[in-house]
């Protein structure tokens, strides 16, 4: 099986330097802070794909494993801030639940891994926390729940169902620095959808062929828009959603 070494992320500061080597950024901030920004939570393993890799644009997921990513401090901090909020939820009794499903693809075992923010056995509810900005405005405009978030939590439902764990509700929780908005998502099996998406992504890695880009609101925050075959469309979309 082809082993893919995930490239390190480069975080570029306002001085147009890598934050780890910028003398201005490191004068008053510890290097450990900038180093944490460059870390990725999940290691890449051959034949193993995370649910978020399937619910996001497959082209982006391909680039994340094969190309060096460069992003701004603003983008990297937004990701780290989201992770910190997830850690805070542990103090109120939330416990992340790891789920897996496997399937055979042409004699090869493919593994899908999901990390569920919280599961309440008393109400059989899956909760998934999303950090964002202007949450009330997004809710008023109908921008949330986002389609990939719906797909993500339905994938979690599908995976828990394979374990025989009862699930009766799926709830997305959107938070910013002031407000909280909740949305219930309908139950729906994504088993065949998961297999189809994972198959497309896995075959792309095996053949070194780029999956078809999926232009969406995610293009606004994508670190790989400059190398995307659909760059003109993605940039237009950025202008629309600003």
pLDDT for the residue 92? 66
Answer yes or no: is 85 within a domain.
Answer: yes
User: Cα dist. 24→8, 27, 80, 145 in Å?
Assistant: 22, 5, 21, 40
In this structure, what CATH number is given to the domain that contains residue 171? 3.90.320.10
In a domain, 57, yes or no: yes
Calpha distance 135→53 (Å, rounded): 24
Mean pLDDT of 162-175: 96
Q: What is the pLDDT of residues 69-112, one digit of tens each?
A: 677 777 777 777 777 776 667 666 777 889 999 999 999 999 99
- Residue 172 near residue 130, CB atoms below 8 Å: yes
Least confident among 23-37, 41-55, 144-158: 23-37
Contact between 157 and 170 under an 8 Å Cβ cutoff? The reply is yes
Query: DSSP label at 18?
Result: B
CB atoms within 10 A of CB 4: 15
Give the predicted TM-score (pTM) of the model: 0.83
Indicate whether 221 belongs to any domain: yes
- Which among 69, 218, 223, 232 is positioned nearest to 147, based on CA atoms? 218
Give the count of domains, the chain: 1
**Is residue 236 pLDDT above 60, yes or no?**
yes
Top pLDDT among 98 and 223 is at 98
In a domain, 235, yes or no: no
The verdict on residue 103 lying in a domain is yes
Query: Which residues span the domain enclosing 155?
Result: 10-230
């Amino acid at each position: 099986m082809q082993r893919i070494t995930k490239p390190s992320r480069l975080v570029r500061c306002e001085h147009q330097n890598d934050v780890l080597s910028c003398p201005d950024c490191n004068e008053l901030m510890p290097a450990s802070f900038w180093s944490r920004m460059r870390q990725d939570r999940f290691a890449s393993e051959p034949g193993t794909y995370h649910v978020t890799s399937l619910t996001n644009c497959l082209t982006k997921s391909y680039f994340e494993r094969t190309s060096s990513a460069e992003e701004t401090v603003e983008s990297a901090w937004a990701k780290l801030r989201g992770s910190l909020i997830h850690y805070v939820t542990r103090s109120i009794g939330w416990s992340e639940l790891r789920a897996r499903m496997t399937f055979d693809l042409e004699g090869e075992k493919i593994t899908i891994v999901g990390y569920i923010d919280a599961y309440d056995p008393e109400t059989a509810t899956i909760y998934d926390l999303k950090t964002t900005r202007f949450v009330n405005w997004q809710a008023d405009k109908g921008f949330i729940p986002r389609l990939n978030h719906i797909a993500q939590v339905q994938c979690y439902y599908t995976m828990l169902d394979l374990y025989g764990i009862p699930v009766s509700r799926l709830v997305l929780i959107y938070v910013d620095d002031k407000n909280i908005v909740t949305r219930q998502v309908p139950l729906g099996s994504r088993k065949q959808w998961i297999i189809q998406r994972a198959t497309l992504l896995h075959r792309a890695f095996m053949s070194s062929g780029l999956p078809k880009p999926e232009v969406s609101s995610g293009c606004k925050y994508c670190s790989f828009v400059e190398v995307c075959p659909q760059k003109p469309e993605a940039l237009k979309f950025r202008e629309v959603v600003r």
